[in-house]
Structure 1
Amino acid sequence: MTFSWTRHRFSGGALALDVANSVVLRADPERRVDRFADPATLDAFPAGAARHGAEHGLFGALEPVRKDAREDFLALREAIDRHFRAEILGAGKPALLADLLDAISATLRHSGERPQALDTATARSALLLLSRPEPERLKICPNCHWLFLDRSRNRSRAWCDMAVCGNRVKASRHYRRTREEPRP
């Protein structure tokens, strides 16, 4: 099966969140899919981020993660997800923040002099998210459970992507409603 990094895959609103969202159905061990398990898909991610990511103007064209840095990069991805997911759910802990800062530090220390590398840019994006003055803009999509940044003026965005998750939820509601209504 071929996979491509489409616009929907970058609906997190920040590079760090898009990287965290590379694990699909994270909470379901039987259906969980790690998009970065395939090295070719991981190597293609920077081009997709440059094309579709919300922070492409901030980081520009990105280089793939070096093979010897992938373990640190994946540890960073998991620390980003754990910390921000817990913060959104109101269960943030200093230990999760410390783990995230350690992962950022390790990534930056081992990425060398590659400021345009995906791992370096992801660490910088996570630091930017940590410094956001409005943490309530970080949300979890009720459909796919991806993390996303609500950039709407009134903070009313409900789904990571209205065209995908929003439509699925609305179609499901409509289906249930029409099945429950008695026919004349």
Structure 2
Amino acid sequence: MSSNEDRRSGVASDPKEELAIRFVNTAAWRLRSSREERLPNAQAFLQWLAGNIPGSEQPLALINARWRAHPQGSAKAYEAAIALREAVYELLVARIADVAPPIEALEHFNALLVQPADGIRLGTIAGELVWCIDGASDPDLLKPIIMSAVNLMTGPKAHRIRQCQDDRGCGWLFVDESRAMNRRWCSMGDCGNRAKAQRHYRRSRGKSDSPSS
């Protein structure tokens, strides 16, 4: 198993990436015929939130207890989370391609954007402001992701959004922070390293196949 495969075997994500992109990337191998779902159920979604939104453990524990008592509610909240993820993905990919956003995805996103969510607040982690979940309602879970997506799509990083060019169909998104804005891979330690190894192999084969002088 390659390091890239191993990295996608769980829900861990790069804390340096924008929250919205980390959420979108919970679907792995998006450009394959059969992608891999890294949030298979509501419990996995809560686990992801706990690992990506610091300071939210107590309200998430309350929501978890309610979901265990009322599984139908958890199923509905999970479906809403996945629908948001796919809408954000479609909007970001449209931004990358510099085309008009899909109307259905935009309308779905806007409908969630205007929903009230009183249980979120700004907190500080290591001196930086971050979104925190401070309530126990299901809409509270999505609002930090929604606000992250809004800031990403309308802010100064919008033109730096990229999609990994790995030829196996990785499809993960990232923000290109390089000075030359020429980053092609989700991570040089994974897809980028594999592409580099492939180029080296092709060059080596080319030299070995050439007629000797």
Is the alpha carbon distance of 1:4 and 1:94 closer, same or farther for their aligned partners in structure 2, counting shifts above 3 Å? closer
Letter of the structure 2 residue corresponding to residue 129 of structure 1: L
Contact 1:88 1:136 in 2 (8 A): yes
Contact 1:22 1:34 in 2 (8 A): yes
Contact 1:13 1:150 in 2 (8 A): no
Give the SS at the match of 2:89. helix
| TM-score w.r.t. length of structure 2 | 0.66
| TM-score w.r.t. length of structure 1 | 0.75
Letter of the structure 2 residue corresponding to residue 152 of structure 1: S
Q: Quick one: which of 164, 179, 183 aligns to 2:205?
A: 179
Give RMSD over aligned pairs. Answer: 2.7
Letter of the structure 2 residue corresponding to residue 88 of structure 1: I
Give the whole-Å Cα distance in 2 for the aligned partners of 1:174 and 1:153. Answer: 25
Q: Quick one: which of 27, 43, 46 aligns to 2:46?
A: 43
CA shift, 1:11, in A, is: 6.8
1:138 equivalent to 2:146? Answer: no
CA shift, 1:49, in A, is: 1.8
CA shift, 1:138, in A, is: 0.8
**Equivalent residue runs for 1:16-165 within 5 Å:** 16-30=20-34, 32-50=35-53, 60-62=54-56, 64=60, 67=74, 68-93=76-101, 95=103, 96-105=105-114, 108-109=115-116, 112-115=117-120, 116=133, 117-143=140-166, 144-165=170-191
Q: Which runs of 5+ in 1 are unaligned?
A: 51-59
Is the alpha carbon distance of 1:157 and 1:12 closer, same or farther for their aligned partners in structure 2, counting shifts above 3 Å? farther
Is the alpha carbon distance of 1:137 and 1:176 closer, same or farther for their aligned partners in structure 2, counting shifts above 3 Å? same
Per-residue CA deviations over 1:39-86 (Å, capped at 9, x if unaligned) read 443222123325xxxxxxxxx334557624222211110100001101
Give the whole-Å Cα distance in 2 for the aligned partners of 1:93 and 1:38. Answer: 28
Give the SS at the match of 1:148. strand
Work out the percentage of aligned pairs sharing the same amino acid.
Answer: 30
Give the whole-Å Cα distance in 1 for the aligned partners of 2:206 and 2:44. Answer: 43
Higher strand share: 2
Is the alpha carbon distance of 1:90 and 1:76 closer, same or farther for their aligned partners in structure 2, counting shifts above 3 Å? same
Corresponding residue for 2:124? none
CA shift, 1:23, in A, is: 0.7
**Rg larger in structure:** 2
The ranges of structure 1 where at least 4 consecutive aligned residues each deviate by more than 4 angstroms after the TM superposition are: 63-66
Per-residue CA deviations over 1:79-128 (Å, capped at 9, x if unaligned) read 000011011012223624333322433xx44xx43311542210111111
Per-residue CA deviations over 1:5-58 (Å, capped at 9, x if unaligned) read 43xx3377211111111111123233x1111114443222123325xxxxxxxx
Is the alpha carbon distance of 1:166 and 1:118 closer, same or farther for their aligned partners in structure 2, counting shifts above 3 Å? farther
Give the SS at the match of 1:160. coil
